[in-house]
Structure 1
């Protein structure tokens, strides 16, 4: 007898993602909570990606594929259509470039016993392959800073929303547009889980890094996720650094946005390049490939 489905997982994807999907789905299949259904939402996938999805379905009958033509934005309406068929108590999301830690669904389920919307903290994987906690969310007021792969909400709450997922206006993040709708609802009860429960890989604005380059990075982290003794020191180092930076910020009056004065010129140059859409200037020793992961403190 099959267990009742606890989580409906929404995994949006598009063309040229066939290399990444098995790694992302592998992190889903290693969840402590196994009573889930996985909806892969195709937004204009190509034939190689479609073949990978069908192979994943053959391996796991909890996976369903919703195959759609390319949408004008990110296929938000396709997510809404799929959620009309969802059977989970709650909904979780993951980008095809990110990897969940095994406790991700478990943490969401715990907080969604009382909350209707929750976001967890997350480890951002830097270009030098070190982990950092970019914001260390601690308050429900910071929910709008949450990313798609860290968010979850109750399904019954979703069905009470005025619109649900809908086409996002240009120049607005699709996930932020959705969270704002939820936060404006009178029944919204927000929770923030302090635990980081995923590895987040943002590599420039959409579409970002080529898929082959993303694959080289994700494949090594996917291997680390399957070797907890090797991964734990890396996560510990990120938590210690976050605590140190938080204390330094609170104790010093010569910091701006948490940075020393000597660090500001590089930070301003980086921001200016982002605003002007200029290519990033590589630092000494960077060649665009993942650097070895340092496990020592």
Structure 2
């Protein structure tokens, strides 16, 4: 019986794919299968994929035409084709340590969605982490927020049960603009009432993300040159011990970096507080000026009303004088007429 199905989406990375698949086939759990999910693959990738299936019957190649975005819809078809109820994921330029499947299968005995300690390998060889525990409700809540993009899950290093996937019923599909495919899909699983998450304390999957550190400009040969020494390390007898050691060193370095970042943020926060106080003083001054202007406006309004009343009275007086003058003129005119 197949204990784990490892799904690997492929498109245009022929040089790294053999190294990636080799680390799956070297798992301490031997009864695994590899499903290569072709998304309009190049001729070179197809040639590599066919050769891999010929070399080991545990490898299968699902050769789909190019689909929307990264062909996420085909991953649903691959889940349906999988012979195991434990669904694992892996990128075509990443590597698994020998106990990766065993570690996560152990977690899947009591949980429905699990991952290796998540992080990435930088081109300088250092390791950095996407620190999070998928068993922490607060971490899950952060993943489910729409106003931020908090993500500590990746295609590589993640596994879930078929039961959870089927229960959700919302299949892998094209990712909306502005979202990462793994984040968008795995959020669906996290929302389900039967979700139960866990993160391994060990990093058993090594990620070399194309989207970071300028790797998107590297040639295929440059990518495989980076992976070869890491592949040699992964297949060595003491691989996990060495990765654990490097992870510990990476934690210390990242802690120093984060402390420095916190210090800078605290400095900026102090400056912002000062600006806030200054703006508060300015606001108080503006309020005083506003109140003074309001009082002056009220005085002017009163003066305007008084002047209006005086103006009206003056107009009335003028009209009265005009009437008197007109009456006197009439009397004078009549007297002059009698004299004639």
> What is the TM-score with the length of structure 2 in the denominator?
0.68
Distance 1:248 1:202 in 2: 21
- The corresponding residue for 1:161 is 168
Q: Does 1:100 align with 2:96?
A: yes
Distance 1:77 1:195 in 2: 31
Matches within 5 A, 1:1-297: 4-15=1-12, 17-130=13-126, 132-141=127-136, 142=139, 144-204=151-211, 208=216, 209-229=218-238, 232-233=241-242, 235-243=244-252, 245-246=254-255, 255-256=260-261, 258=262, 260-261=263-264
Q: How many residues align?
A: 253
Q: Does structure 1 conserve the Cα–Cα contact (< 8 Å) formed by 2:27 and 2:99?
A: yes
Q: Which runs of 5+ in 2 are unaligned?
A: 141-150, 268-340
Structure 1 stretch displaced more, 230-239 or 17-26: 230-239
Cα pair distance change 1:62/1:242, threshold 3 Å: same
Distance 2:122 2:71 in 1: 28
How large is the Cα RMSD of the aligned pairs? 2.6
Distance 1:48 1:202 in 2: 21
User: Comparing both structures, which one devotes a greater share of its residues to helix?
Assistant: 2
Cα pair distance change 1:167/1:149, threshold 3 Å: same
Secondary structure class of the residue paired with 2:20: helix
Report the structure number with the largest CA radius of gyration.
2
Cα pair distance change 1:242/1:64, threshold 3 Å: same
Q: CA deviation at 1:136?
A: 3.3
Distance 1:153 1:199 in 2: 19
Superposed CA deviations along residues 181-233 of structure 1, whole A, max 9, x for unmatched, are 00111111111111111111013369813322111101111112122447744
> What is the TM-score with the length of structure 1 in the denominator?
0.77
User: Comparing both structures, which one devotes a greater share of its residues to strand?
Assistant: 1
